[in-house]
Amino acid sequence: MAKKAPSLQYIEPIGARVLVLKDEPKRETKGGIALPDAAEIPTITGRIVTVSKLVLHDEDVPLRQYDKILFHPKNAIPVDFEPDNQLFVVPVDDIVAVFRKEKPPED
């Protein structure tokens, strides 16, 4: 009997990287115009699923699990975890903004 390959249970980014669940691509503009399926508008927002230990312990990088972020997709590495998966490993340097409900206190 052939052994079944072990399934992945957890992905931990290494170095200054985070694992991001990319938001669904837009199917309609804000004005209500439906976009054809062939229209490729890159979605560059997503939620952080997990952060590397380096990022977690770096006080200069204000990123935490579940943060919504804006990122540059050029260096994002897709993770082939499941067929319809939207997971990407994103370098911290490619994250350009974090969405917050409140303005952080100034130092």
Residue 50: the pLDDT is 94
Low-confidence ranges of the chain (pLDDT < 50): none
Residue 62 is which amino acid? Answer: P
Distance between CA 68 and CA 64 in Å, rounded?
Answer: 9
pLDDT value of residue 12: 87
Tens digits of residue pLDDT in 26-35: 666 667 676 6
Cα separation, 17 vs 1, in Å, equals: 39
Residue ranges and CATH numbers for the domains of the chain are 17-23+43-99 (2.30.33)
Give me the residues paired with residue 17 across strands. 91
Note the pLDDT of residue 38: 54
Map tokens 């399934």 to a residue.
Answer: 7
Q: What's the pLDDT at 82?
A: 67
Tell me if the pTM is above 0.85.
Answer: no
